[in-house]
Structure 1
Amino acid sequence: MADKLLEIKDLNITYNTEITTVYAVNGMSLSLEYGETLGLVGETGAGKTTTCLSVMRLLPEGIGEVTNGSIILDGNDMLNLSEDKVRELRGNIVSMIFQDPMSSLNPVMTVGDQILEVLKEHNKDMSKADLDKAVDDMMELVGIPANRKNEYPHEFSGGMKQRIVIAIALVCEPKLILADEPTTALDVTIQAQMLGLINDLQKRLNTAMILVTHDLGVVAQTCEKVAVMYAGEVIEFGKAEHIFGAENLHPYTKGLFDAIPKLDEDTERLVTIDGMIPDPTQVIKGCRFAERCKFATDKCKVAPPVVEVEPGHLVKCHRYGK
């Protein structure tokens, strides 16, 4: 067994079209221990989903390209494996819960067959009776009666569809779940149920998870570690108490927390971070957040170093360098 379940080092990803090149991920590095939960937060366009797709080797063919870096998953060099080997790992070692269950499920297959399809791919020696029992057990585990396995996706509500997607992702008991905003399309009540379900299943199966979300409240409830992404790179990484305590240090992280409405304060207007994320088609040599940062100086024309301000708490900012 490898020391870490997932280790991403200096990852760079581009999307190449006939019109332009988009620099989606820029020098990203992070790691994840076995059984650990990591929250990946940041604005839309930060590169969160692209990072997850690269771990699964599901970047759009002919458009998405990893131009530098490495992804080591459970001791496997994901970027240098054959497609057949990667197919063995998908579902078995790593699974992804996509944010839209409507587009994740096949409308002409029963939900039971969709769960069974994944199970058969990775358990070719199982008997039909054992496969059927495993499907029934998985449906019951996510809170859906097993006798509904012969129904089609359109016969289920949005929350139930998401439960089916979770069942498909977990049926082979993978070591890592990549949950890409799994509750975005759900109302608040169902969202709480889904998060509770994922956490419960994760503890039962000792599965690690990367939770991609915009909701810092969700991260606070579910994640042990947090990585804050901005413009394709991790600008702050640490334990949840580092990020959610008074110790969060990067100006962008502070801006995210300042934008959260406070229940004990009466304010007419919420605080916002001025400006927009930089154009992803442009190569930026200095700090990517400099144009929106009130602390920016001439130093910020050069890319900042990664500083370990305390054990396990990393910040990418000139304010904390030597």
Structure 2
Amino acid sequence: MLEVQDLRTKYVTRFRENVYAVDGVSLKIKEGKSIGIAGESGCGKSTLALSLMGYYFPPLHYISGDIIIDGKNISKLKPDTIRKRILGKEIAYIPQAAMNALNPTQKIIRFIEDVIHAHHPDATKKDIYDIACERFEILGLPRSVLEKHAVELSGGMKQRTVIAISTILSPKVLIADEPSSALDVTSQKMVIKMLRELMEKEYIKVMIFITHELPLLYNVTDDILVMYAGQIVESGTAKQMVFDPLHPYSKGLMGSIIVPEEGVRDHQLTAIPGTPPSLKNPPKGCRFAPRCPYAAPVCSSMEVPDIELPNGRHYRCLMSERKIREV
């Protein structure tokens, strides 16, 4: 359904410096599946989300790699083609703080009209209103929201409304970047429930959920990828990644978060020392080596392979699986 092969993108600063925020990312998601991407701030999660849409504008630039949706490679299409044929229909993106993106002077129905008219210019207002009413009611949003302004909605309602607007054309792929951040627990639960319903009712075929909280992904996605310094350092099922992380960074990420799940909640919290490397000049060897408690001299000089285990898990580390489990 969605396949990404060795994707590389960069930012070019005003001083003409290159920041390699996505460096050699590959992933594959089948129809009906959802994946989560976790990692600390600055690891490249949001840049990966933008890059996956194939829609590049300065300072973000495409370097190489392929993004394939249903056999169609969108990575080399022109921006105008991406905007007219891909965004909203093939792939949709919910950015961070999306609830603040709504124009406070416009009614919600006007945003939906803009989205649909961009792809179906002949659609009438009545047709659009009927489509919007049906979709909102199915997703648990009262049709009265359509005639309201953004300032009349609570934060949780705004976020759910943005999700409904973004998926009104039933895109095949939905990328949700921190969709539950800045919300209270009740609102978070409603947003998660809405995303699940979109998958269950097949309004979207594939979902990518981005957050810095690994445990949250356990309750939302089928598989989890952990990202560090522009690279995917480990991937596996949600259960494997939460209860049995292999990569030292994944272990540190889990150890620094309170997890209420049985078997994990009694673990003592730990912190990952140091800071991520600069992506202007990424270090040789393992990018996590300067912060890794198990690093050896070879880790800072030797190229790190992507190891695939018999059960389908991947991790990027010079240590063997047996040695990792011993430490």
TM over 0.5: yes
TM-score, with structure 1 as normaliser: 0.91
Aligned mate of 2:174, from 172, 177, 189: 177
1:227 and 2:225 correspond: yes
Specify the SS of the correspondent of 2:147.
Answer: coil
**Does the 8 A contact of 2:175 with 2:209 survive in 1?**
yes
Which one-letter code corresponds to 1:13 in the other structure? Answer: T
Give how far 1:208 is off: 1.0
Aligned mate of 1:67, from 63, 80, 86: 63
What residue is the counterpart of 1:289 in the other structure?
288
What residue is the counterpart of 2:73 in the other structure?
77
The CA RMSD over aligned residues, in Å, is 2.0
* Structure 1 Cα separation of the partners of residues 303 and 100 of structure 2: 39
* Structure 2 Cα separation of the partners of residues 260 and 18 of structure 1: 36
Specify the SS of the correspondent of 1:134.
Answer: helix
* Structure 1 Cα separation of the partners of residues 272 and 310 of structure 2: 26
Which one-letter code corresponds to 2:110 in the other structure? Answer: D
CA distance 1:297–1:118, change in 2 (3 Å): same
What residue is the counterpart of 2:310 in the other structure?
310
Gaps of 5+ in 2: 323-327
TM-score, with structure 2 as normaliser: 0.90
Q: How does 1:13-92 map to 2 (within 5 A)?
A: 13-19=9-15, 20-59=17-56, 61-87=57-83, 88-92=85-89
**Does the 8 A contact of 1:304 with 1:317 survive in 2?**
yes
Which one-letter code corresponds to 1:63 in the other structure? Answer: P
Give how far 1:231 is off: 0.3
Deviates more, 1:92-101 or 1:253-262: 253-262
Give how far 1:125 is off: 4.9
Gaps of 5+ in 1: none
Specify the SS of the correspondent of 1:211.
Answer: strand
Deviates more, 1:50-59 or 1:231-240: 50-59
Which one-letter code corresponds to 1:258 in the other structure? Answer: G
* Structure 2 Cα separation of the partners of residues 47 and 188 of structure 1: 26
Which one-letter code corresponds to 1:278 in the other structure? Answer: P
Aligned mate of 1:108, from 105, 109, 112: 105
Which one-letter code corresponds to 1:319 in the other structure? Answer: M
What residue is the counterpart of 2:278 in the other structure?
279
Residue deviations 1:85-114, cap 9 Å, x none?
A: 212111111111122134322233211110
Which one-letter code corresponds to 2:220 in the other structure? Answer: T
1:242 and 2:240 correspond: yes
What is the percentage of aligned positions where both structures have the same residue? 36
**Does the 8 A contact of 2:4 with 2:65 survive in 1?**
yes
Deviates more, 1:102-111 or 1:35-44: 102-111
Which one-letter code corresponds to 2:237 in the other structure? Answer: K
Which one-letter code corresponds to 1:293 in the other structure? Answer: C
Q: How does 1:98-177 map to 2 (within 5 A)?
A: 98-177=95-174
* Structure 1 Cα separation of the partners of residues 67 and 292 of structure 2: 31
* Structure 1 Cα separation of the partners of residues 313 and 98 of structure 2: 35
What residue is the counterpart of 1:199 in the other structure?
196
* Structure 2 Cα separation of the partners of residues 118 and 43 of structure 1: 33
